[in-house]
Amino acid sequence: MKRKSRKLLIIRRFFTGAKKYFVAAVIASFLTTILNALTPQIFRFTIDSVLSGKAYPYLSEHLWMIALVLVVVALLSGAAMFVSRYFTARAGENFAENMRNALFAHVQKLPMSWHDKNQTGDIIQRCTSDVEVIRNFVVTQFLEVFRTVFLIVVSFSMMISMNVKLSLIVLLFVPVVAAYSGIFYRLIASRFQYADEAEGELSTVVQENATGVRVVRAFGREKFEMERFREKNNAFAKLWIRLGSLSGLYWGIGDLITGFQVITVIVLGAAEAVHGNISVGEFIAFASYNTTLVWPIRGLGRILSDMSKAGVSFERVDYIIGGKEEAYGAKDVSKNVQDSPNDLFKDVQNSLRNEQNSLKNIQDSSESVQNSFAPDQYSIRFSHVNFAYENGEAVLKDINFDIPQGATFGILGGTGSGKSTVVQLLDRFYELADGQGAITIGGKNIKDIPLEQLRRDVAIVLQEPFLYSRTIRENIAAANPDASLEEIRSAAKVACVDDAIMSFPDGYDTLVGERGVTLSGGQRQRVAIARMLLQKAPIMVFDDSLSAVDSETDSLIRKALKEHMKDATVILISHRITTLMTADNIMVLSKGRIEEMGTHYELIEKDGIYRRIYNIQMSHDDRKEVNETHGSL
């Protein structure tokens, strides 16, 4: 689809609900133009017919009546302008709201591979500043186009009715202004794109510094961060200075041309009046109309300038809109709104309307399943799975394993061995391409399972859990907003974090800092575990999520989980042998391949990776104690 058609289609789709306000603004703007055009005619009439004494003697003796008419016209014009601005604001905010909602909802559905390639600060820039640029042009400047057209048509009509020769002279300046505006339009467009991208990079630096403030302090990187920000800020400032210089040159040349236009009309108009070709009143009215025309025509350049900026912003926003959403099931083909942004807007409206009901149905379904499992309903199988991230080497190579329903499955491996990739594929953070193998749950390919249901059934606690800047209670209840405090505390007790929470002055109403920085690493992980438990998922994945707690707490949590999870299928990823040794089966990964598979006792009997790690992590006394108590764990 051509770019211009694409932009028009996007405007039309997101204008849903704003059209009536825009039409009202256009009508009010038209009335304002008509009323403003009456004022020079009133002056013309007053000078030529009233003040000359040739006619209307009553009005010449009661000039206050003409003044009253001027006041009424001014009041009506002001009222029409207010209505125009009011409905313009309504239309603009409605349009921007639609676009922001659609963009944010679409970003939620873009795959992890898309997020891996795009910086957070740049995404924020596209969804905020770029949307505002588009809103300003689509509504404010687009309305200005209508207003300018009205002014030109009405003013030229009045001017031609008074003097054709002078009107044609004024008309000659229009193509000159249009020509140089077009030249600057192209120059400004390219420079604005660089400036907008630089602003996105600057936002990314600020965002990274704010979220990683503890790392900055811990490693004494304040000077480095300040220098990095200063460098980006300096580049950003230079680009905007160049853009400002270009705009200044544009306005300077524009003022020179329009100034010459005004002078030409005044000189030639005065000559026409002296020779009696036009009356004094007509000369003053003509000069007034000419002055009125100067700024709208000059405004065309500003509109073109803003159009160039909006064009860049359109490209940046369309990059998000054109991203393919995650495939939600076999029949639900991965969406691409490159050809139909209307699908995106309709999808947002439908999802916002049905979100609560669908989530409630999923929760009810999950709770029902949790209470009564059908045989092998949640057994997991990886069959000849191969996977590589985009433009990267293979991370997993011919992975084959089975996890029976209700079993605990451990995964051990070094950094980069593919442990986390296994569970990210299971939860479809990344998609397996055709020919890369298959992953099934209960004998059903996960691609055929609705994505919402899959992620309700497969709960994951990540190695670096994310907590919102809200209360501890709200963070735990994120998985089930309708959960009671008793349910929340029950989950927290299983995660061995209830005592720590109750030790805070505000208990579960304690506010958590950004990304949970006010809690220790172990507390954050345990809060995340409690949040997952509240989800009541039949498949639970712990991605090295017990690494920040001591061995004793680790043991207590695992004991509580064993009692709580009952028939749930559990996947444990860890570097710690004591966390994995109670698993029914343990898989050892190395460089994306399965090196070993078996129970703890089977693996320590072999002279392999597992045994070597076991010997490194534990002393002789530790091994003896663990072996004696292994059955109770």
How much is the pLDDT for 79? Answer: 93
Inter-helix orientation angle 142-162/19-45, to 10°: 20
Distance CA 455, CA 451 (A): 6
Burial code of 581-591, b = ≥16 C-beta within 10 A, e = fewer? bbbebbbbbbe
How much is the pLDDT for 312? Answer: 78
The CATH topology of domain 380-632 is Rossmann fold (3.40.50)
Structure tokens that stand for 586 in this block? 């343990």
Any idea which of 53-67, 164-178, 376-390 has the lowest mean pLDDT? 53-67
Asked if residue 69 has pLDDT above 60, the reply is: yes
Q: Do domains 3-321 and 380-632 have the same CATH topology?
A: no
Cα–Cα distance list, 312 to 189, 318, 321, 455 (Å)? 7, 10, 14, 37
How many helices (H) and strands (E) are present in the chain, helices listed first? 24, 10
Three-state SS string over 285-353 comes to HHHHHHHHHHHHHHHHHHHHHHHHHHHHHHHHHHHHHCCCCCCCCCCCCCCCCCCCHHHHHHHHHHHHH
Distance CA 196, CA 316 (A): 9
Any idea which of 170-174, 238-242, 374-378 has the lowest mean pLDDT? 374-378
Q: What is the number of alpha carbons within 13 Å of residue 380 lying toward its C-beta?
A: 26
Distance CA 329, CA 445 (A): 10
Band (8; pLDDT cuts 50, 70, 90): confident
- 334-342 contacts at long range (C-beta below 8 A, 24 or more positions apart): 335/109, 337/106, 338/1, 339/1, 341/9, 341/10, 341/13, 341/14, 342/9, 342/13
Q: Where is mean pLDDT largest: 106-110, 123-127, 442-446?
A: 442-446
Structure tokens that stand for 313 in this block? 């912003």
Burial code of 108-134, b = ≥16 C-beta within 10 A, e = fewer? ebbbeebeeebbebbbebbbebbbebb
Between 315 and 331, where is the model more confident?
Answer: 315
Asked if residue 381 has pLDDT above 90, the reply is: yes
Structure tokens that stand for 76 in this block? 């009506």
- As a whole number, the mean pLDDT across the chain is 78
Asked if residue 98 has pLDDT above 60, the reply is: yes
Domain-wise residue ranges, the chain: 3-321, 380-632
- Do residues 297 and 147 touch, judged by C-beta distance below 8 A? no
Asked if residue 99 has pLDDT above 60, the reply is: yes
How much is the pLDDT for 460? Answer: 87
Structure tokens that stand for 567 in this block? 């028939």
Structure tokens that stand for 382 in this block? 């990886």
Specify the residue for token string 């990210």: 424
Estimate the share of the chain in helix, then strand, then coil, as percent rounded to the nearest 5.
Answer: 70, 10, 20
Calculate Rg over the CA atoms of the chain.
35
Distance CA 386, CA 195 (A): 42
Average pLDDT over residues 82-109: 86
Asked if residue 273 has pLDDT above 90, the reply is: no
Contacts of residue 253, defined as CB under 8 A and 6 or more positions apart, other chains included, come to 180
540: β partners = 459, 570
Specify the residue for token string 């991965």: 334
Q: What is the number of alpha carbons within 13 Å of residue 213 lying toward its C-beta?
A: 10
User: How large a percentage of the chain has pLDDT more than 90?
Assistant: 9
Q: Residue 356: name the closest of 456, 481, 471 by CA.
A: 481
Tell me the DSSP string of 197-218: HHHHHHHHHHHHHHHTHHHHHH
How much is the pLDDT for 302? Answer: 67
Is the domain 3-321 a CATH 3.40.50.720 member? no
How much is the pLDDT for 83? Answer: 92
- 523-526 contacts at long range (C-beta below 8 A, 24 or more positions apart): 523/497, 524/465, 524/467, 524/548, 525/461, 525/465, 525/549, 526/492, 526/495, 526/496, 526/497, 526/500, 526/557
Question: What is the chain's length?
Answer: 633
Structure tokens that stand for 10 in this block? 């996007």
Band (339; pLDDT cuts 50, 70, 90): very low
What is the phi/psi pair of residue 50, to 5°? Answer: -95, -55
Band (137; pLDDT cuts 50, 70, 90): confident
Between 395 and 181, where is the model more confident?
Answer: 395
